[in-house]
Structure 1
């Protein structure tokens, strides 16, 4: 079958994705590739896409959506164009920037014979004049209207809070709930909204590529739950295993003051927090679910709020060190973090990073790393390790009793005192997950590396993901001891590797103590 320009219609469209370095775009690209679509990305800075595992599977064009020539070049041969960019946070002129970019995109799509534009906008309240909307929602609504009034058929999806690690609205919910057991909050916490899991957003986006040519309309998309922001915070606390939150709304916090309040409590930038908090003044719930006529919902979908939360927190709850928290580069699901997510996304993570040059081969260093724990000890300050073990036993933890299965070799899943072996890359990385009683989750990573001058280097990272305010307090309470425990551990492991160079097994450390650092 041919389209109106005489081109043969392929079963799987050739898709253009703008905003591929952003939250939604970076997760949509692999969804499209997985279903067999060819994908081209338009990016102002193509280098930002290099960390994605799919980078080699897409074509990348450099350019900005406000540049007609760049957009025209990116549109050539495209069937479906995804518009996933907006000027949120770029200053007072963002509405005009959004307007100009949308018009340019629509005009160039028409000139190139693109058959459909797909746009993800914001869910807007019914019965509220557009002039009374927040600038953020008003601009989103205007962009959608520009596409629907244009010559190219458009699918405009309208969503409220997107639940997934990296989503600005979700991260704001995460930090507010985790950091404040008692909250004096703005009155907008009583406003009802209809959150949606990022997996369902991506499913609707990808499915829109195959909509019939005569469909040109907006669709409300949301999960099955309609909740106030206060209810979302309380349910987050339950899913995350936090104590019940006491939330006291007050009417005196204006949107401006609210954004400053959010900025004090969370690392979400004020340029994002202000438009998000302004938008929370309005009740945004779905008034139809017509999208299911074209993108049918499988059983159990859309995901309920609690299930979307569990997926968003999955990496942490399963005690996996994901993406920016480790050497891992490939996330396991759309709800997981991505390398291009902002530094403030993904929840709090404290880190103690030590690096020591080793006068030995990488093989000698690895023998010491793999032989750690049990009777070989932890190469560190003995009293601190012993006390930490006794404290863990006192509060019902496993303590130091377990030792290790084999004195020389480790495998994934082995218990190691009160750690568990989570990952091994032979000769390079040993990652241990803490199983002691803690107000959070902890990992210890040990690397055998080579530096820029070809010398062997030992790297050691202690990572802690706090749970609630108690978790943050715990880290800062024990951090003064880290220089004693962790620096001594790194230094002694390097010495043991040098002493045991050329032998089958590294020599025992100066301090033999089967324990665990705090």
Structure 2
């Protein structure tokens, strides 16, 4: 591995292999390793999944699978530190054997290649519980850690419980349960004590583990400063998210199996992932030690508390930077933010209404119509509906439609536009508006003009809504029957208006 292999970016740190770079932790670890001056190679079954990451050009990407000894051996060449961040959770029956075989291959090939350290992120296990009584998920992660520790390569096995960050399956389950259910009949495991940790602290410790002394070969428990029940986490999540206090009624009849189906009904987290996570909540998962601080001291303000970790996980939406969820653009963000490779169910609910229309006019004509929306020009669709919405907004204490626009022809970022605010503008191509009307959530409207050749263009329009609590979901479904008239009519009429200016 040389400079040409990682985009020519100068680096003098350890040469690192990252498996699972398309996953939740791996995708966030790679930029942290690069920022620390390390050289990085990613092992991926489908390298194409990495192309949307802004750091792709700075790493070497090797095609392969952790269950294929030859591809693992090739990926281990010239590697100092190998990160094992994969597991077969969600792959169905037999995942324990798959995990076992992959861990053995990884350890054997690391030793043969002269790798000086393995770093593995596993699950925190409860004290005093025999291994055979653990959930299959936790039991498999424990076994993988044991295999890597016995590989002959010094290993740091980091064990964490619930990781707080957008995209984490555990956090998404917590998010959806809390936001969608103001009144919850829950399994008894809501009283289980848990020691969650912010994803930023997990990444900090994973990066630091690359420089642990060579004689360190052991497990380390990772946790934040708060020990909470699952019920406590739901209540505190609601408070941080600005939701009304949740009423939680635990019932003993919901077994782990039944509760996983319950989670599947309430949240979009796949049952194959929700079930092992729910089963793992039967036992208390609290750190037994904090020995890693002897090698990697906690910086001021770390580890982050639960409330701060949730605030960071929700920050992306609060700053209205949801573009990565509904645009093909890859926007680098903080470790707590969504990534392009996160599953579709990660990042919270996001409702979208998409419309497009062919325009018999050049793109410049279309853009002039887009930039002229609002104010005296109106919204090109069912004026009665827009006026009624503006009146309702004023009755609710909002701004309504009375603000109009600063200039009849030109817009700039920050301009008010009736009950919208110009959030982004790319002259001739894109206008994005953020709603400032009274809503149970956040809303955006995006309008794009694209050339279509031979004096024609295409109009693309997206309305996006991020609901806040159950009321937000109810609001979207209540107004969605009118979208065909309001948003559909808007797209058709803007296209006609642009064509009439030829």
Give the TM-score category using the shorter length. over 0.9
Provide the secondary structure at the position in 2 that maps to 1:241: coil
Residue 4 of structure 2: aligned partner: none
Q: Return the TM-score normalized by structure 2.
A: 0.96
Are 2:263 and 1:275 equivalent residues in the alignment? Answer: no
1:333–1:21 distance in 2 versus 1, CA, 3 Å: same
Q: Map 1:74-93; keep pairs closer than 5 Å.
A: 74-93=75-94
Residue 420 of structure 2: aligned partner: 419
The answer to whether the Cα contact below 8 Å between 1:323 and 1:331 also exists between their aligned partners in 2 is no
Residue 362 of structure 2: aligned partner: 361
1:49–1:453 distance in 2 versus 1, CA, 3 Å: farther
Cα deviation digits, residues 303-328 of structure 1 (max 9, x gap): 11001001101111222223122344
Residue 3 of structure 2: aligned partner: none
Residue 450 of structure 1, CA deviation: 3.3
Separation (CA, whole Å) in 1 of partners of 2:127 and 2:431: 55
The answer to whether the Cα contact below 8 Å between 2:12 and 2:37 also exists between their aligned partners in 1 is no
Separation (CA, whole Å) in 2 of partners of 1:127 and 1:426: 64
Residue 469 of structure 2: aligned partner: 468
Residue 230 of structure 1: aligned partner: 231
Residue 243 of structure 1, CA deviation: 0.8
Residue 505 of structure 1: aligned partner: none
Are 2:125 and 1:124 equivalent residues in the alignment? Answer: yes
Cα deviation digits, residues 309-364 of structure 1 (max 9, x gap): 01101111222223122344113211111111111111111111000001111111
Cα deviation digits, residues 355-388 of structure 1 (max 9, x gap): 0001111111111111211122111111000000
Provide the secondary structure at the position in 2 that maps to 1:253: coil
Structure 2: stretches of 5+ with no match in the other structure: 1-10
Separation (CA, whole Å) in 1 of partners of 2:62 and 2:418: 52
Provide the secondary structure at the position in 1 that maps to 2:498: helix
Q: Map 1:30-45; keep pairs closer than 5 Å.
A: 30-45=31-46
The answer to whether the Cα contact below 8 Å between 1:187 and 1:249 also exists between their aligned partners in 2 is yes
The answer to whether the Cα contact below 8 Å between 2:18 and 2:26 also exists between their aligned partners in 1 is yes
Residue 439 of structure 2: aligned partner: 438
Provide the secondary structure at the position in 2 that maps to 1:281: coil
The answer to whether the Cα contact below 8 Å between 2:369 and 2:497 also exists between their aligned partners in 1 is yes
Residue 454 of structure 1, CA deviation: 8.4
Residue 394 of structure 1: aligned partner: 395
Residue 213 of structure 1: aligned partner: 214
Separation (CA, whole Å) in 2 of partners of 1:241 and 1:328: 29
Separation (CA, whole Å) in 2 of partners of 1:412 and 1:219: 48
Separation (CA, whole Å) in 2 of partners of 1:166 and 1:55: 20
Separation (CA, whole Å) in 2 of partners of 1:192 and 1:450: 57
The answer to whether the Cα contact below 8 Å between 1:256 and 1:274 also exists between their aligned partners in 2 is yes
Provide the secondary structure at the position in 1 that maps to 2:52: coil
Separation (CA, whole Å) in 2 of partners of 1:136 and 1:182: 29
The answer to whether the Cα contact below 8 Å between 2:360 and 2:455 also exists between their aligned partners in 1 is no
Cα deviation digits, residues 209-243 of structure 1 (max 9, x gap): 11111111111111111000001001111111111
Residue 191 of structure 2: aligned partner: 190
Separation (CA, whole Å) in 2 of partners of 1:334 and 1:454: 44
Provide the secondary structure at the position in 2 that maps to 1:401: coil
How many aligned residue pairs are there?
A: 492
Provide the secondary structure at the position in 1 that maps to 2:403: coil
Separation (CA, whole Å) in 2 of partners of 1:281 and 1:93: 22
Q: Map 1:439-518; keep pairs closer than 5 Å.
A: 439-451=440-452, 455-501=456-502
Residue 159 of structure 1, CA deviation: 0.3
Residue 254 of structure 1: aligned partner: 255
The answer to whether the Cα contact below 8 Å between 2:54 and 2:332 also exists between their aligned partners in 1 is no
Separation (CA, whole Å) in 1 of partners of 2:388 and 2:294: 62
Separation (CA, whole Å) in 2 of partners of 1:372 and 1:293: 60
Separation (CA, whole Å) in 1 of partners of 2:110 and 2:456: 54
The answer to whether the Cα contact below 8 Å between 1:331 and 1:337 also exists between their aligned partners in 2 is no
Q: Return the TM-score normalized by structure 1.
A: 0.93
Provide the secondary structure at the position in 2 that maps to 1:155: strand
Residue 12 of structure 1: aligned partner: 13
Residue 452 of structure 1, CA deviation: 8.6
Residue 241 of structure 1: aligned partner: 242
Residue 141 of structure 2: aligned partner: 140
1:112–1:249 distance in 2 versus 1, CA, 3 Å: same
Residue 500 of structure 1, CA deviation: 2.1
